[in-house]
A and B are shown apart, each in its own frame.
Chain A
Amino acid sequence: MLAFLIRRLFEAALVMIVVAIVAFTLFRFVGDPVSQMVSQDATIAQREALKAELGLNDPLIVQCAHFIWKSLHFDFGISYKFREPVVNLLGQRMPATLELAAIASLFAIGIGIPLGVYTGINRDSLLTRVIMAGSLIGVSLPTFLIGILLIYLFAVTLHWLPSYGRGETTSFFGLWQTGLLTSGGLRALVLPAVTLGLFQLTLVMRLVRSEMMEVLRTDYIRFGRARGLTNRAIYFAHALKNTLVPVITVIGVEIGTLIAFSIITETVFQWPGMGLLFIQSVQFADIPIMAAYLLLSAVIFVTLNLVVDILYMLIDPRIRVAVRA
């Protein structure tokens, strides 16, 4: 178990180094840090001095190592546009994105799994057909369209929910602005979270449904019935549990996707998160932010992958054995 974890951490570190090299390449070659930082009428000498100061004359390998070393200390440089350390900018925006992604995931999992279980058990009921037809809409409508439709219906027409922004937030030790503690903040979360999570919800539901139908055909379910186990035991203790390994894999990746690619939803709802920051940084070719965002996304995916691997072992004893061997 420990050896497995160490091996996995090692692999994760390798992935991160590769991503860091890509981020460095972006950082070093796509933008020109010097021209972004000096004024228009700086002399060539001034430029050269700055270049030397920034270490841009060093060998590439040294620069790259330097970049990685600084990244490890959360030093991603200064944003060209905001003239502020990138880490501060990301730090301010991160709570908004993480809270949005967390609520969207809860929404997707909390509704997707029960619907998947229901439609997997009652394959042909009328309600199942309605749900499956509805889920097709969820898969096929683009996110921005869903967002706009929801805004039109619940904000513009019915005035039930705000159409943009985070609403009221409270601060935790000045480090974390949360929208989860005020009714205004919670209300502001509803539409973006639904918009962001809807696709994942249908994905989770369809996956759970097909896995349930698969598992319900197995011999151990049949034998469970032959022993007179209750439906509850059959469906939840045996069937659902056996669907979890593939379901958790997908959920892990999807949560990463929610965090890293909430760009569209954040844009539609003017949600002050990292996605919005990223889209602004693209417009201004604000390379340090883009490079840092790339690194952050990689960290999120690698971490989620690790969590998924650990969950596998907790769920499936056969994987534990394979790991020990």
Chain B
Amino acid sequence: MSDPILSVKDLRVEFATRSGPLRAIDGVSFDLNKGEVLGFVGESGAGKSLTGTAVIGLIDPPGKITGGEIRLEGRRIDHLSIEELRRIRGREIGMIFQDPLTSLDPLMRIGDQLIETIITHVAVSRTEARARAVKLLEDVGIPAAAERVMSYPHEFSGGMRQRVVIALALAAEPKVIIADEPTTALDVSVQAQIIALLKKLTSERGMAVMLITHDMGVIAQIANRVAVMYSGRIVEIGPVADVVRQPAHPYSMGLMGSIPSLHAEHARLKQIPGSMPRLTALPAGCAFSPRCERADARCKVERPALAATGMTTSACFHPVTSTVAEVAG
């Protein structure tokens, strides 16, 4: 297997607060291979977005990467200068945010926003950048692209705007795209189109994608592997089919319960009681242990590391190894 395009090792992100640092990302490691779509799922506040912003170097103070390393094609990028990081953003790693309605500068024609992005990263003339801008709009499926470059963002619908956002993120042909809930703000009818578009574009261009979402359906549709996050850690990672069908971590099992249609017997799983602990009150051992039916004394004091468990890799002392029925017992 070839080297991963993006490799994150033991990433740690902390927020400096008056009462000491809050560890929001704690020891996250994963590899993203060329052409691969790696999904990130987990409850709100699990640290999915923060992982993405850390990779692209956009964490706002008081947040800070305080440990670990991020490598892009083998080269460390987590401690580059501001200017070096800027050149990587858009050019090597692109990012798409949740809300297409607010992601575009309302006062600038979308063509100019595209041209500006292209010229920032690629040594081309304005005319050529303009031709590329039209081509990009065509690629993302905007009708009459040659005329639409002159339009302002408010002249597009939400779905069309998200297509423009995708065109902008792809403008300088990055190798990695971080898509943070790219469809959450859109109408259900449009969501599937945008996901299909993302899938098509990234596979055509051989781009690797970090796809952050709450929607397991979306993951099942386009991701190759999926990472389940909980309290700033990856608790399980593996091929989508395996994580969905045979999750090893009790938390993943609970999550998969939210998509009964994918796997009928999970429909019987009850909702996970309780909620994710706040960063200020993290338990000593496994962060999920207070909500876990399988937790024992060890789980409360010792933190499990990621290890191969059945088909996937998970961080649990008592992984669900064979059938779902075991949970009940």
* Contact residues of B between 279 and 300, Cβ < 8 Å to A: none
> Does B89 reach chain A (CB closer than 8 Å)?
yes
Do A242 and B106 have beta carbons less than 8 Å apart? yes
Among A228, A230, A233, contact of B172 (Cβ-Cβ < 8 Å): A228
Do B106 and A220 have beta carbons less than 8 Å apart? yes
Given contacts A222-B97, A233-B116, A233-B120, contact A227 B171 (CB under 8 A): yes
Closest to B90 in A: A228
> Does A73 reach chain B (CB closer than 8 Å)?
no
Do B117 and A227 have beta carbons less than 8 Å apart? yes
> Does A7 reach chain B (CB closer than 8 Å)?
no
What is the bound-complex CA distance between A242 and B105, given in angstroms? 8
Count contacts on B: residues with CB < 8 A to the other chain.
Answer: 30
Do A230 and B86 have beta carbons less than 8 Å apart? yes
Which residues from chain B contact A187 at a C-beta distance below 8 Å?
none
Do A226 and B169 have beta carbons less than 8 Å apart? yes
* Contact residues of B between 203 and 239, Cβ < 8 Å to A: none
What is the bound-complex CA distance between A112 and B295, given in angstroms? 62
Do A228 and B87 have beta carbons less than 8 Å apart? yes
Contact digits for A102-126, partner B, Cβ 8 Å, 1 yes 0 no: 0000000000000000000000000
Please give the distance in Å from B198's CB to the nearest CB on chain A: 16
What is the bound-complex CA distance between A202 and B112, given in angstroms? 34
Among B102, B104, B108, B120, contact of A228 (Cβ-Cβ < 8 Å): B120
> Does A237 reach chain B (CB closer than 8 Å)?
yes
> Does A318 reach chain B (CB closer than 8 Å)?
yes
Given contacts A228-B120, A229-B116, A316-B107, contact A218 B102 (CB under 8 A): yes
Closest to B168 in A: A227
Which residues from chain B contact A228 at a C-beta distance below 8 Å?
86-91, 117, 120-121, 172
What is the bound-complex CA distance between A237 and B86, given in angstroms? 17
Do B108 and A226 have beta carbons less than 8 Å apart? no
Please give the distance in Å from B264's CB to the nearest CB on chain A: 40
- Name A's interface SS: helix
What is the bound-complex CA distance between A181 and B95, given in angstroms? 55
Please give the distance in Å from A70's CB to the nearest CB on chain B: 46
Do A226 and B94 have beta carbons less than 8 Å apart? yes
What is the bound-complex CA distance between A238 and B99, given in angstroms? 18
Do B99 and A219 have beta carbons less than 8 Å apart? yes
Among A226, A229, A317, contact of B97 (Cβ-Cβ < 8 Å): A226
Please give the distance in Å from A311's CB to the nearest CB on chain B: 13
> Does B165 reach chain A (CB closer than 8 Å)?
yes
* Contact residues of B between 42 and 99, Cβ < 8 Å to A: 56, 58, 86-91, 94-95, 97, 99
List residues of chain A with CB under 8 Å of any chain B CB.
218-220, 222-230, 233, 237-238, 241-242, 315-318, 321
Q: List 13 A-B contacts (CB under 8 A).
A: A219-B99, A223-B95, A226-B95, A226-B97, A227-B89, A227-B168, A228-B88, A228-B89, A228-B117, A229-B120, A242-B106, A316-B106, A316-B107
Q: A223-B95, A228-B117, A318-B106 are in contact. List 8 more A-B contacts (CB 8 A).
A: A223-B103, A223-B104, A226-B89, A227-B90, A227-B172, A237-B116, A317-B152, A321-B154
